[in-house]
Amino acid sequence: MKEENTEHSKTIRVDGFLWNYLPAIGIITFVILFIAASTVYPGGTLFNLDYVGYDWFHNYWCDLMASTSLSGAENHSRTMAIFAWVILCICILQLLLRSFSTMIAPGGIRNILNLSSILAMVIGLFAFTEHHDIIVAVCFPFGALAAFGLSYGLTNSDLSIYKGAIWICIVMLAISFFMYFTNIGLYWLGVTQKLTLALVFIWLIGFNYELIKMESYKA
């Protein structure tokens, strides 16, 4: 009986760890799969269709999820990239729902933020389809509302660094969105997108750790 209780306790601790750190684990998994997928991308960019391989300056993340590369070849990175994207969407949704449950009082605002988060991530899942641009345009406002919700939730916290840094992330995401849909500064979009993702991921991983502490205090 004692051995059974010990094993049960270990299982609970492992499950608790995975649940608590799922966002960070998902983001790290995404980055690993992203890098792996980029190594099998055939090639081509908007500025050089004959470029061989993945150009970290000019190619976009979504290029890896397309059925064919910009050079016209079959895209061998597609399956891995889509898998990485699905993992990322699920893990970020989990973080958002946990965050609002912890930081926002029950009621209309929390419900709206939860719904917005679900819509952003569920709709965003289909960014790998041929309707990529429409999907991004539709889910961006919902994602933006969720980001504003995180900022609102942090208002009464003492996480000063996260309060300021989240606005840097929001501005960078807005700039990337603007560049993509207006073609203004398109030459720099590839590298801007990757810098934005890096900032957002660093923020999310750090916030994941802080959220666990907030959840423990609330409990």
Q: 50-90 pLDDT, tens per residue? A: 999 999 999 999 999 999 999 999 999 999 999 999 999 99
Distances (CA, A) of 127 to 11, 42, 130, 156: 36, 20, 8, 35
The pLDDT value given to residue 218: 74
The answer to whether residue 190 scores a pLDDT higher than 70 is: yes
Both tokens of 82, joined, read 């889509």
Query: Helix, strand, or coil here: 131?
Result: coil
Instruction: Give dist(CA 209, CA 23) in Å, integer.
Output: 10
The pLDDT value given to residue 217: 82
Which residues constitute the domain of residue 211? 2-218
Instruction: Give dist(CA 66, CA 76) in Å, integer.
Output: 9
Amino acid at 30: F
pLDDT digits (tens, 9 = 90+) for 106-156: 999 999 999 999 999 999 999 999 999 999 999 999 999 999 999 999 998
The answer to whether residue 171 scores a pLDDT higher than 70 is: yes
Cα 93-199-182 angle, rounded to 5 deg: 85
Max Cα distance, the chain (Å): 67
Q: Into how many domains does the chain fold? A: 1
Q: Mean pLDDT for the chain? A: 92
Based on its alpha-carbon atoms, the radius of gyration of the chain, rounded to whole angstroms, reads 19
Instruction: Give dist(CA 143, CA 211) in Å, integer.
Output: 19
Instruction: Give dist(CA 42, CA 161) in Å, integer.
Output: 40
Instruction: Give dist(CA 96, CA 22) in Å, integer.
Output: 12
The pLDDT value given to residue 15: 67
Distances (CA, A) of 169 to 112, 182, 201: 22, 20, 9
Distances (CA, A) of 34 to 27, 41, 64, 127: 10, 11, 8, 15
